[in-house]
Structure 1
Amino acid sequence: MPVSLQVIYPVSAESRFDHGYYAATHMALVDEYIAPHTQSIIVTKGLTGGPDVPAPFHAVATMVFADQAALDAAMQAAGPALADIPNFTNVQPQILIGDVVR
């Protein structure tokens, strides 16, 4: 069964997030170290939380893996991408791992 990993960067009054660095540099590391183990990667940049509501998240990265073994392999290889997080944000990302049901 496919498994997804979502990395969610919440907005707060103190948070900073460099979208340019994230798109150009961090995602290149993700492509090099994590993407070979994935079926797909989608990154969503937060724009709004609804009409006249600020975005609650800077970004959400969703990665889909064929199975838990593929996710485990990606996590074994992810060190350089994980070490890069402080270079674009001071946010402690939230993580959601789950079964893909559709």
Structure 2
Amino acid sequence: MYCVTVLYPNQADGHFDFTYYRDRHLPMMLALLGDNVVSLQLRRGMQAVDGSPAPYLCLLNTQIRSPEHFASVMAANSERVLGDIPNYTNLQPIIQIDEIL
């Protein structure tokens, strides 16, 4: 099993529309990825352990069956996916694929 982790850094000039992301962007992504998605978890950063601002504003973990399938879907739909980002944020996401051990 694998996990796609998407992190949006918490920056002073950053904004993030969680409603748009949850209600519009994620359903589009789920439709594109189909049954490769096992589960999805969306989180809003609150604070660091020491009480300072959270280092990430938004965190998304998506468990997937195949990183190859994920990569091919993203390559085929990159314009559509990347073109939607300005609709919900001005932040640059950090994306990585993890193996769940």
Check the 8 A contact 1:9/1:58 in 2, yes or no: yes
Name the counterpart of 2:92.
92
SS of the aligned residue for 1:48 comes to: coil
Structure 1 distance, partners of 2:68, 2:21, is 27
> Deviation above 3 Å: which 4+ runs of structure 1?
76-79
Structure 1 distance, partners of 2:97, 2:34, is 16
In the superposition, the TM-score normalised over structure 1's length comes to 0.81
Unaligned runs of at least 5 residues, structure 1: none
Name the counterpart of 1:62.
61
Aligned partner letter, 2:19: G
In the superposition, the TM-score normalised over structure 2's length comes to 0.82
Corresponding residue pairs, total:
100
Task: Output one character per residue of 1:42-90: Cα deviation in whole Å (capped at 9) or x when no partner.
Answer: 1111112224221211111111111333323442454333321111001
SS of the aligned residue for 1:84 comes to: helix
Unaligned runs of at least 5 residues, structure 2: none
Structure 2 distance, partners of 1:65, 1:33, is 13
SS of the aligned residue for 1:95 comes to: strand
Aligned partner letter, 1:9: Y
